Chains A and B, each alone.
Chain A
């Protein structure tokens, strides 16, 4: 590999990532037709069970980040990556500027070729120099033979969203005793 074609080094998304990625959320009225990309994952009437996933991203002081942005990429209910009519497989949400909460309204993914149902999540914010990649599994699924959870070993509980009946909660800890597993993948 020639050095000229080495990956561009990452830099933080900074505190104003919203302007570029979710401009309507940032208050830029009418930008891009007033639709923030990734805000709605379900755009039609796809098959599958609808779920709500509520998250926080929590810093080393235990305080939720108010300026983070999280993206997810996931299989559809059939375990494939689509395309799926009426469903985007990809979502993007900023954390609420006051509560730090963010919510994805999506479809429960199906199991994918030897992997338990999961979402791939990517976290960026001021202070994060290289986007953090993690996965989110579901407590009400059989996760016992998932190969990526096996990599996480005794920290795998940090990757499993709690809840059921279509409503899940998952907090991502950047530091501390409950630090979430982040991946180099």
Chain B
């Protein structure tokens, strides 16, 4: 049988659970290391979501919470890219959910009390399903940086949160997308939990003038990579423990 139907996760590439400069991790990071077993049918399968559940504006944060005829305030952007696996193959038909602060850096959330005002026409969430070629696209406004309580003068770089499903639940991933050129990336304790600059760079979207619509909306390109999938699922896969 195949050694791994889903490629092993490189835990040294991801942030460590305990990151002392990110204060919230102190009481929420397990002390034991994660115990390993090979994925079984439980981890190699996962939920599927059909296009039928999507509303027409689910992928358009500029209008999906706005009053009719109105739009969210802020720099208009397209965020698009491909959902791929570690073998470079498209991961199609998978749910991608995003959430973000508004252009002033304020979230529509009762726990967010930042001085920047809410935008009555901006909710801050969107979702779509990746296409046959793994492609996805959202329209939104560029979020603002915001301060957060971490014991010092900490500001998050402008970012969009991403939640992504794969074929197998073991591929499930939540991450954040940053914007090329943001000086807060180098200063942010949450970003800097990631051990290497190479890895951090994978979360930085690039300005994409080829897909920028003249006089309308700029584009940013952001590809998302999920753990690799084996080419073949063998009959005896369930013995993989």
Contact = CB atoms under 8 A, between A and B. Distances in A.
**Do A and B assemble together?**
yes
Given A9-B175, A10-B14, A127 B24 contact: yes
Contacts, number: 250
Given A11-B203, A27-B109, A74-B42, 15 more contacts: A7-B226, A8-B202, A12-B190, A17-B174, A19-B108, A19-B109, A20-B125, A23-B123, A31-B123, A65-B28, A73-B45, A81-B45, A97-B110, A127-B28, A185-B170
Contacts of A185: 36-39, 43, 170
Contact of A115 (B40, B174, B225): B40
A129 B14 contact: yes
A181 interface: yes
B35 A11 contact: no
B51 interface: no
A183 B98 contact: no
B179 to A, nearest CB: 14
B35 A151 contact: yes
A138 to B, nearest CB: 15
A174 B42 contact: no
B46 A16 contact: no
Contacts of B190: 11-12
A102 B123 CA distance: 25
Interface string A155-171: 10000000000000000
A135 B170 CA distance: 12
Contacts of B239: 114
B89 to A, nearest CB: 9
A84 B77 CA distance: 40
Interface residues of A, number: 76
B15 A11 contact: yes
Interface string B27-68: 111111111111111110111110001010010000011000
Nearest to A120: B42
Nearest to A83: B48
A10 to B, nearest CB: 5
B64 to A, nearest CB: 7
Contacts of A122: 169, 172
B194 interface: yes
B99 A16 contact: yes
Contacts of B124: 19-20, 28
Contacts of B88: 2, 4-5
Interface string A116-148: 001010101111111111010000000000011
Given A6-B202, A19-B107, A127-B27, A11 B176 contact: yes
B154 interface: no
Given A1-B87, A9-B199, A113-B41, A184 B11 contact: yes
A15 B37 contact: no
Given A33-B55, A59-B28, A174-B29, A81 B35 contact: no
Contacts of B11: 130, 184
B32 A181 contact: yes
B150 to A, nearest CB: 11
Closest 4 CB pairs of A and B: A20-B99, A127-B24, A127-B28, A90-B47
A21 interface: yes
Interface in B193-216: 193-194, 198-200, 202-203
